[in-house]
């Protein structure tokens, strides 16, 4: 299933490789940012808290917002880099490889918030220690979105920061890659795959999917509906 977390690495790695390709044109930058946020929008939608219905209009709103923010930031940073005449060509290439991270991280936050915005207005179900629903909380929804947004900032760090550093070292110090440039892309793909495999479980493990919260931090009607002092909610992935 390409849009579940189990399929995030195999389906997302080719997109990461594309994001980190050196010497990209404006058109290729826009294309890879669009493809990445299209994939992320579907992943966020399929892994949301589905206790409340999410209209298609919210999906479209989140999709357009995430793509617009990612492309705008990436293109803006590339334009600034092109105007930075003081950088040497090697330094410019290295900096250009790091541009995808701020674009992707900021767009990921927009993507999560916009894709799951209905949770903030409708609330999400909270459960007692028996697993029974005791109410619907907008406060719990805010916690769920904040936790998920933080994971989406942490997730691209190893994926988009480590590969450019590793490839810069390998390309400068491995004679094999200098002699046979056609090997650069396969090696680059393997490095991205390894970084993705490390980053995904690390980011997801920051917060448990079934998170706990004190009833005193929730709406008064929920505290009145249960004798439990701690309730749980599904934050999504």
Give the whole-angstrom CA distance, residue 138 versus residue 121.
7
Which residues, including other chains, have CB under 8 Å from residue 111's CB and lie 6 or more apart?
37, 40, 41, 44, 62, 65, 66, 152
Angle, CA of 82, 85 and 90, to the nearest 5°:
80
Give just the sign of the alpha carbon dihedral 181, 186, 190, 191.
positive
| Residue in the structure block whose two tokens are 């220690």 | 129
Comparing CA positions, the residue from 233, 99, 80, 236 lying closest to residue 160 is 99
Q: Phi then psi for 25, rounded to 5 degrees?
A: -85, 170
Summarize pLDDT for 180-195 with one digit per residue, the tens. 878 888 888 888 888 8
Give the whole-angstrom CA distance, residue 59 versus residue 65.
10
- pTM for the full model? 0.74
Structural domain boundaries in the chain: 125-236
Summarize pLDDT for 129-147 with one digit per residue, the tens. 888 888 888 888 889 888 8
Mean pLDDT of the chain: 80
> What pLDDT band is residue 111 in, cutting at 50, 70 and 90?
confident
């Amino acid at each position: 299933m390409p849009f579940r977390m189990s399929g995030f690495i195999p389906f997302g790695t080719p997109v990461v490789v594309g994001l980190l390709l050196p010497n990209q044109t404006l058109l290729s930058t826009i294309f890879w940012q669009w493809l990445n946020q299209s994939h992320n929008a579907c992943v966020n939608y399929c892994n949301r808290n589905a206790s409340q219905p999410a209209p298609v209009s919210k999906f479209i709103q989140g999709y357009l917002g995430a793509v617009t923010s990612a492309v705008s930031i990436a293109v803006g940073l590339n334009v600034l880099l092109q105007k930075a005449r003081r950088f040497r060509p090697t330094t410019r290439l290295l900096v250009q490889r790091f541009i995808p991270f701020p674009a992707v991280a900021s767009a990921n936050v927009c993507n999560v918030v916009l894709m799951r915005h209905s949770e903030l207005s409708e609330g999400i179900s909270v459960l007692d220690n028996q697993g029974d629903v005791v109410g619907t909380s907008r406060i719990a929804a805010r916690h769920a979105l904040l936790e998920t947004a933080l994971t989406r900032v942490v997730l691209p760090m190893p994926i988009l920061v480590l590969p450019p550093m590793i490839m810069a070292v390998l390309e400068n110090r491995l004679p094999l890659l200098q002699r046979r440039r056609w090997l650069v892309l396969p090696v680059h793909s393997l490095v991205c795959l390894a970084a993705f495999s490390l980053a995904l479980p690390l980011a997801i493990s920051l917060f448990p999917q079934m998170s706990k919260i004190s009833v005193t931090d929730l709406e008064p009607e929920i505290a009145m509906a249960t004798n439990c002092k701690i309730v749980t909610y599904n934050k999504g992935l």
